[in-house]
Structure 1
Amino acid sequence: MSIKKITSALIAILSLGASHAQDYKQYPMWNASLPMEQRVKDLVSRLTLEEKVAQMLNAAPAVQRLGIPAYEWWNEILHGVARTPYKTTVFPQAIGMAATWDTAALKQMAYYSALEGRAINHLAVTEGKTGDRYRGLTYWTPNINIFRDPRWGRGQETYGEDPYLTGKLGAAFVRGLQGNDPKYLLAAACAKHYAVHSGPEASRHTDNFNPTPYDLWDTYLPAFRELVVNAKVAGVMCAYNAVYKQPCCGSDLLMSDILRNQWKFTGYVTSDCGGIDDFVKRHKTHKTNADASADAVMHGTDVECGNNVYRSLVDAVKTGLISEKQIDVSVKRLFTIRYRLGMFDPADKVPYGQLPMSTLEAPEHKALSLKMARESIVLLKNTGVLPLSKKLKRVAVIGPNADNRVALLGNYNGFPTRIVSVLEGIREKLGPDAEVIWQPGVGYTSDTIFTPDVENGFFRYEGQPGFEVQYFNNENLEGAAVHTGRVAAVNCFFSQGQAPAAGVSADHYSARYRSSFTAAADTTLLFQMEGDDGYRLFINDSLVANSWKGRLGVRNLKWNVQKNKTYNLVLEYRQNEDGAFMRLQKGSDRKADMQAIARQAAAADVIIYAGGISPELEGEQMWVNAKGFNGGDRTSILLPEVQTELLKQLKATGKPVIFVMLTGSAIAVPWEQQELPAILNAWYGGQSAGTAVADVLFGDYNPSGRLPVTFYKDDASLPDFKEYAMAGRTYRYYTKEVLYPFGWGLSYTRFKYAGLNLPSKITKGRAVPVSVTVTNTGDRDGEEVVQLYLSYAGIRERAPLRALKGFQRVSLKKGAAAEVKFLLKPEDLELISDAGKSYIPSGKLTISVGGGQPVAATPGFVQKTVSVQ
């Protein structure tokens, strides 16, 4: 055949291929005028079994012959769009947003975050990167697990310990994120982790919990029901742990009976990442991946995240473990979500389908972040020292959180253009005429602080300062390096989705750093390694530090050296996912001189101590080598002893000491409560946390945050961490005195309650109107969170001591009054029987309304006892 004929044939074949490539546009699946259900059915009917199974993985590949783009289901938006290479608005951590008790603000926050996510997704569509992680529109949040124990490191991701508050806040988030368009979702929320899941982190893959039917329905399920039944959440994530000896993703009770049958959930379910793998390897309830996968799908788990275990579903169908029709059920659910997100319709037909990247960090988004940071701050104690005068000439700002921006971001976070630390917020508030004395003082848990050396040229590679770095597109340094270069130091930080160099993958890569150093004297050198994922450090070919399979955290290494001897250093780093952070520094330990710190601070008019803890110490399954912390959880709820010791030295100066506490959970501060004049809890307050703290400290904002968790007095107050019975836990079942009760929060003004109106008799099955008059009797404008609690007397079966059943945030000018109205629905009056059934008891019911729980620590509440018939 001649060259001319061959060329003509190739052109004909290519033309035919191009023609066929467009044929799919004629299929009903692409016809936007048809009902979604019909389109989804048509699409699924055209997929092979292998293609269907591939769509059930979190990283679903493209099906080019049908024009279906690749899609990555995994994305995060806990308190703003997270883990992208772009700058996004970061709101307070979830527990901080819970402290606002502001459903309207939370709904708006979710809406703004979804808009930013839409802009990122539109860019991904434009660039053909819909298969990249953290660019999709299915967000695996909110975390509505009940924060039953303050030691749980991931409690910061939740809305606190109360099922009612969690449900209402979670529902507001879902409605804001998913939007209100009748046809399309703005984004898809996902309620996690279903269910009975709240630590410990170290054993989450193997734990089996057996809650009583009462605790299951009274505590662990109500928030999920609220989101599924009432807020119509698009997705649910099943938890790692087992319940009643069945892994949650394969639970007869949780998945089949309750979620799909009782609650009629039609959305999609994803496993937690690696959760199906746990069936075989950790729970050992299934022998093979095919057994595990088939069982999970038959229980309604549509997406497997993590290890591609669902690929075994092809064999499971062929061997009769599961039918292809059952596979179709899951695939239809998944494509229904994608259709509802507008992924198969022209962008100009989909609301928000073409948002520009200028949507990110829009002025109104940043303003809301500041508003919520202000509202989240809880004034725990104030003897009158606050608010401070802005005319102060000298202020000392001390503490490990004073200038720590990492602590403000929490976990599951994005990265904004600017983060205002507590120190920076105070400096901006006081202006250039005031002197601000500052130093970290001590570490979180130790009085010894690592100080990096500033000398240049200590590390040298082939005679030049710095390191050689090689990158590999796998996690095990296998094969040839895809990029080789030089860096001045090992100090890398890359956001999720950001590749470290040309040709290097954004995830699942490894790096090898090479350098050497020559000792100037016989001495001991101190090196500090910190970062994420795994590492290995070799000196002169000896493996001296190894955390290849675990998270790095922060680790120090001492190494003896001889004068004039040269040492070769190799650092190997394994990047898994969610960005990269690796730093190696030479330096020295400096032991804090607390008396010297106090003498320096004594020159100020007032001392502001910014301490507490940090997401560097608590979070998801992390490696931490510090007293009081383990695996991401805490072993003690007490403020670390070293911080209390420094606070004692600062108090001894005779100057007022204000304690600004940053934390993701409750901290026991018995000495501080007794001895310090003012304490405020600022959580992990997001990008504007420092501004918000300064606004509260200096009276430009009247604090209005309320605790979403109980602050207990000490460790002895807590039951065993792994005990999931609710007896002795949370304000609903804890009978002893606490440090600060759930719902607690002070103001710079005072509120009076009067005129509680409600029927004297309540008829079962009817709604109950309740109203109360709230008056601001102080001399400042302020916001109050009006809280309504119910308590039954003489109940034979189990019942909460009291239970929150209503709340409203109201703003009142000084001297102003407002009538606040509630409408209790019949289900608000229900209790749970020992058998797990809901019922409304007859007898006496006490309804209390006030600025907190009806306990001695909360003055001013009003209440009435009525008869239920």
Structure 2
Amino acid sequence: MGLDMADFAYCDTTLSYEVRAKDLVDRMTLSEKAHQMGDKATGVIRIGLPRYHWWSEALHGVSYVGHGTYFNELVPGATSFPTVIHTTAAFNQSLWKTIGKAVSTEARAMYNLGNAGLTYWSPVINPVRDPRWGRITETPGEDPFVVGTFASNFVRGLQDLEGQEHTNDTGSRPLKVSACCKHYAAYDIDNWKGVSRFTFDAKVTEQDMVETFLRPFEMCVKDGDVSSVMCSYNRVNGIPTCADPILLKEIIREQWKFNGYIVSDCDSILEMVERHKWLNDTAEDAVAHSLKAGLDLDCGDYYPVYLEKSVRLGKVREAEIDTSLKYLYVVLMRLGFFDGIPSLMSLGKKDICSEEHIELAAQAAREGVVLLKNIESNLPWKIDQYKNIAIIGPLANATRDMIGNYEGTPCRYVSPLKGLSAFAQVKYQQGCEGVKCPTDKLIFPATQAAKRADATILVMGTNLKIENEGLDREELLLPGYQNELITQVAVASKGPVILVIMSAGGVDISQFLRSDPKLDYINKKIKGILWVGHPGQEGGRAIADVIFGKYNPGGRLPLTWHRNDYVDKLPMDSMPLRPVESLHYPGRTYKFYNGSMVYPFGYGLSYTKFNYKLTTSKEVPITIKLDRLQHCRNLNYTKKSFEKSCPAVLVDDITCDSEISVEVEVQNLGDRDGSEVVMVYSKPPEGIVGTHFKQVVGFERVFVAAKKSEKVKFILDACKSLRIVDNKGYTLLPSGLHKIVLGTSSETIEVNVSYAR
């Protein structure tokens, strides 16, 4: 362009990123600045600034969603890992981080080849509040601690450069790619009975906000050091999240010390004006409110089109634009957009769809499979145990349906049919006309196949036509005639039947579990049930490996599976997590729901049997001495006998140096090697009104060889692991007898917290 870049201070690598970013922004006119504030930034040719498309996605592999990434003959595909809900079921933190590393390697390689950007608006970290939510496949489940732990590990995998993971100044730390935690906050309804995410006002208590909706984002910022956060479409207590200065400036930037940029969900400002009609704002009002609240980048056109006029009308200062642009350009500088990062320059085509990444996708698919039922230890099957097998179901030959949404073009597909065909002679029948299964006309040929086969595998479930972004479910049953297909095939089958459920959210399959004289014969024929989520491009391999014993399943359900009548007990747009007794609404998630269910959170079987043995003290006293500036806080109790002289103290007022050491010996009592997920829960003292039943405070997946044992150790921070949030939004450490519980075992540690003057 005839420019000498040495004339521009923003290109001087001896200067700090902040100084360079200021120099770049100061060179622009107001109009030029406004045109860099949308996701399709135009660049400024006269000062050598290239255009940049901010929007790319990498939720479970590099995606073609967005403007920044595309596939072509040079890069025909990228590794498609299982969707997030499936990967979360592995409860394997190192796996989550390793997948992030693989995805960022492919993303950076595609960038080097000219096929991708550097900023990826992933992951989704909204806790699943309601089982009907259409976006469950994108999320890490219902527990906020698990969601936050997934977020921080996956983000670290995406962003961290080896050897530079931690620096004194995190704002200058180089990034492999930029991740984005979304959708902030209290976003978990899309389109349910006319209630739309674009207009929904989430009425949320401060208690639920602090305890559930904000916690994963706090962990993503503080532990994951994420470089971007996306605000959501909805309002929270009347205010659109993308125009809320408390949520954006006060909490993210000031309280959590966030280093990065805040972006809107796409067209959120437009929705604020056209559908929310918030404050009856004009477009110029809306961009001013959003910018002043702390929104740095508009995924959309409102900032580029209306910001200049808004400044000239005096609704917002140009300096506010300068501040946001500096946040944006510091992130691009950390990514090497201007200078390059030498250690990443060698990445290229060889690093995309590599054999290593394909095998990682297969391993992730295996680790996330959850064994739900195994009568008489029918599974695993031995190779050649059954000479011919019927493979039946609308998802038996699934390809695209295995990879969920926000997907890219995968390297390849291994369908269940293809995976199972490697182990046996198979006969395939669809059984349904698609996943919605609108008629029963394909059931008869399916029953005939089952009648002739030595064993039958049914692959049923949902896909994006049932649960998806913009599409919440209204019931929790398998779609259409799927239940009828299962029943008739089970009745007709000559041999054992294995039911494979491919879904994101839970489904009510209780009729194939309970002891009902009318159904007993059918339920006995269905020897095993597997949940396989949406298992990614290698899903068929994982399903076959589990059924035929090449892999011992160890996954656990990351959310509660409810009975279908749950949807009749409360509307989806009721936000409280605790029961609403006046309306007879049950609680939400395992922390507050005490009704009947199909399967609980954390459920999962194995082909072997594990036993836990605590090797640390079962009684831990914690006495905290208070000074005159530390004050006791009152709690409400169900009975006077539960009351304490000093019920609780504000966590922020305590020096939290009390630790609880939990070491457990995990014994594999069986004849098969296997992996066990050790889940650690805390239970608060009895009698406190409105607190959770229990909460996850730690987990670890451990491999234990047959007849061997392994020790797993957890060091729990008492303030973090035993804390509660009261109905005023305070985070407290209650006095009294807390319990640390290991999964569903009887092993318990009693932690007695007391305060003294």
Pairwise TM-score range, normalised by the shorter structure: 0.7 to 0.9
Give distance in 1, aligned partners of 2:487 and 2:217.
44
Task: Indicate which of 676, 680, 690 corresponds to 1:788.
Answer: 680
Task: Indicate which of 396, 399, 402 corresponds to 1:402.
Answer: 396
Report the CA distance between 1:861 and its aligned residue.
4.0
* 1:153 aligned partner: 134
User: Is contact 1:797-1:833 (8 Å) kept?
Assistant: no
**Map 1:192-211 → 2, pairs under 5 A:** 192-201=182-191, 203-211=196-204
When you count strand as a share of all residues, which structure comes out higher?
1
Give distance in 2, aligned partners of 1:38 and 1:212.
41
Question: What's the CA shift string for 1:813-837, capped at 9, x where partnerless?
Answer: 0111122110111322211011111
Give the partner amino acid of 2:499.
F
User: Is contact 2:416-2:541 (8 Å) kept?
Assistant: yes
Report the count of equivalent residues.
676
Question: What's the CA shift string for 1:70-116, capped at 9, x where partnerless?
Answer: 10110000000011313000000010011111110110111111111
Structure 1 residues 447 and 820, CA, compared in 2 at 3 Å: closer, same or farther? closer
SS at match of 2:85: helix
User: Is contact 1:94-1:156 (8 Å) kept?
Assistant: yes
Structure 1 residues 782 and 206, CA, compared in 2 at 3 Å: closer, same or farther? same
Report the CA distance between 1:262 and its aligned residue.
1.5
* 1:601 aligned partner: 450
Given the alignment of the two structures, is residue 760 of structure 1 paired with residue 620 of structure 2, yes or no?
Answer: yes
SS at match of 2:544: helix
User: Is contact 2:245-2:292 (8 Å) kept?
Assistant: no
Task: Indicate which of 478, 482, 491 corresponds to 1:643.
Answer: 482
Give distance in 1, aligned partners of 2:184 and 2:485.
42
Question: What's the CA shift string for 1:220-251, capped at 9, x where partnerless?
Answer: 11100001122110000000000111100011
Give the partner amino acid of 1:138.
T
Give the partner amino acid of 1:395.
I
Task: Indicate which of 215, 226, 230 corresponds to 2:223.
Answer: 230
Given the alignment of the two structures, is residue 438 of structure 1 paired with residue 428 of structure 2, yes or no?
Answer: yes
Report the CA distance between 1:668 and its aligned residue.
1.1
Give the partner amino acid of 1:357.
K
* 2:414 aligned partner: 420
Question: What's the CA shift string for 1:727-776, capped at 9, x where partnerless?
Answer: 21110000112211111110000000112524521245212111111100
Question: What's the CA shift string for 1:475-510, capped at 9, x where partnerless?
Answer: xxxxxxxxxxxxxxxxxxxxxxxxxxxxxxxxxxxx
Given the alignment of the two structures, is residue 700 of structure 1 paired with residue 694 of structure 2, yes or no?
Answer: no
User: Is contact 1:719-1:729 (8 Å) kept?
Assistant: no
User: Is contact 1:444-1:612 (8 Å) kept?
Assistant: no
Q: Displaced runs of 4+ in structure 1, greater than 6 A?
A: none
Given the alignment of the two structures, is residue 353 of structure 1 paired with residue 334 of structure 2, yes or no?
Answer: no
SS at match of 1:351: helix
Report the CA distance between 1:66 and its aligned residue.
1.5
Give distance in 1, aligned partners of 2:394 and 2:400.
11
* 1:775 aligned partner: 667
Give distance in 2, aligned partners of 1:314 and 1:280.
18
User: Is contact 1:293-1:310 (8 Å) kept?
Assistant: no
Give the TM-score normalised by structure 1. Answer: 0.76
Larger radius of gyration: 1
User: Is contact 2:435-2:461 (8 Å) kept?
Assistant: no
Moved more, 746-755 or 713-722: 713-722
Question: What's the CA shift string for 1:446-471, capped at 9, x where partnerless?
Answer: 5557xxxxxxxxxxxxxxxxxxxxxx
* 1:244 aligned partner: 237
Structure 1 residues 72 and 777, CA, compared in 2 at 3 Å: closer, same or farther? same
Gaps of 5+ in 1: 1-17, 130-134, 450-590, 622-631, 855-859
Task: Indicate which of 271, 276, 279 corresponds to 2:272.
Answer: 279
Give the partner amino acid of 1:400.
P
Gaps of 5+ in 2: 65-69, 168-172, 515-522, 579-586, 625-655
Structure 1 residues 644 and 27, CA, compared in 2 at 3 Å: closer, same or farther? same
User: Is contact 2:395-2:435 (8 Å) kept?
Assistant: no
Question: What's the CA shift string for 1:337-389, capped at 9, x where partnerless?
Answer: 100000111x3x43313421221111111111000000000001111111112
Given the alignment of the two structures, is residue 120 of structure 1 paired with residue 110 of structure 2, yes or no?
Answer: yes
Task: Indicate which of 62, 65, 74 corresponds to 2:46.
Answer: 65
Give distance in 1, aligned partners of 2:235 and 2:407.
28
Task: Indicate which of 78, 100, 108 corresponds to 2:98.
Answer: 108
User: Is contact 2:43-2:51 (8 Å) kept?
Assistant: yes
Report the CA distance between 1:310 and its aligned residue.
4.1
Report the CA distance between 1:295 and its aligned residue.
0.7
SS at match of 1:611: strand
SS at match of 1:424: helix
Give the partner amino acid of 2:692.
P
Given the alignment of the two structures, is residue 320 of structure 1 paired with residue 314 of structure 2, yes or no?
Answer: yes
User: Is contact 1:615-1:664 (8 Å) kept?
Assistant: no
Give distance in 2, aligned partners of 1:382 and 1:443.
29
User: Is contact 1:53-1:314 (8 Å) kept?
Assistant: yes
**Map 1:492-571 → 2, pairs under 5 A:** none
Given the alignment of the two structures, is residue 191 of structure 1 paired with residue 181 of structure 2, yes or no?
Answer: yes
Given the alignment of the two structures, is residue 370 of structure 1 paired with residue 362 of structure 2, yes or no?
Answer: yes
SS at match of 2:350: helix
**Map 1:15-26 → 2, pairs under 5 A:** 21-26=2-7
* 1:10 aligned partner: none
Report the CA distance between 1:59 and its aligned residue.
0.2
* 2:381 aligned partner: 388
Give distance in 2, aligned partners of 1:715 and 1:54.
51
* 2:538 aligned partner: 688
Question: What's the CA shift string for 1:546-583, capped at 9, x where partnerless?
Answer: xxxxxxxxxxxxxxxxxxxxxxxxxxxxxxxxxxxxxx
Task: Indicate which of 694, 704, 710 corresponds to 1:802.
Answer: 694
Question: What's the CA shift string for 1:378-426, capped at 9, x where partnerless?
Answer: 0011111111121021000000000021111110011223100001000
Question: What's the CA shift string for 1:179-225, capped at 9, x where partnerless?
Answer: 13364100001010000001133500000011111111111111000
What's the RMSD between the two structures over aligned residues? 1.6
User: Is contact 2:283-2:302 (8 Å) kept?
Assistant: no
Moved more, 418-427 or 281-290: 281-290
Question: What's the CA shift string for 1:247-290, capped at 9, x where partnerless?
Answer: 00011331132112211223100000010111211111142111
SS at match of 2:498: strand
Give the partner amino acid of 1:116.
E
Give distance in 1, aligned partners of 2:45 and 2:737.
66
* 2:571 aligned partner: 720
* 2:750 aligned partner: 865
User: Is contact 2:82-2:365 (8 Å) kept?
Assistant: yes
User: Is contact 1:200-1:721 (8 Å) kept?
Assistant: no
Report the CA distance between 1:444 and its aligned residue.
5.0
* 2:610 aligned partner: 751
Give distance in 2, aligned partners of 1:214 and 1:645.
44
User: Is contact 2:659-2:715 (8 Å) kept?
Assistant: yes
User: Is contact 1:58-1:303 (8 Å) kept?
Assistant: yes
SS at match of 1:711: coil
Give the partner amino acid of 2:338.
F
Give distance in 1, aligned partners of 2:571 and 2:476.
13
Report the CA distance between 1:443 and its aligned residue.
3.3
Give the partner amino acid of 1:841.
P
% identity of equivalent residues: 37
User: Is contact 1:184-1:350 (8 Å) kept?
Assistant: no
SS at match of 2:513: helix
Give distance in 2, aligned partners of 1:100 and 1:597.
33
Task: Indicate which of 601, 618, 630 corresponds to 1:742.
Answer: 601
Question: What's the CA shift string for 1:54-75, capped at 9, x where partnerless?
Answer: 1110000121111111101100
Moved more, 300-309 or 739-748: 300-309
User: Is contact 2:455-2:495 (8 Å) kept?
Assistant: yes
Report the CA distance between 1:26 and its aligned residue.
2.2
Give distance in 1, aligned partners of 2:529 and 2:605.
10
Given the alignment of the two structures, is residue 658 of structure 1 paired with residue 652 of structure 2, yes or no?
Answer: no
Give the TM-score normalised by structure 2. Answer: 0.87
Give distance in 2, aligned partners of 1:28 and 1:687.
47
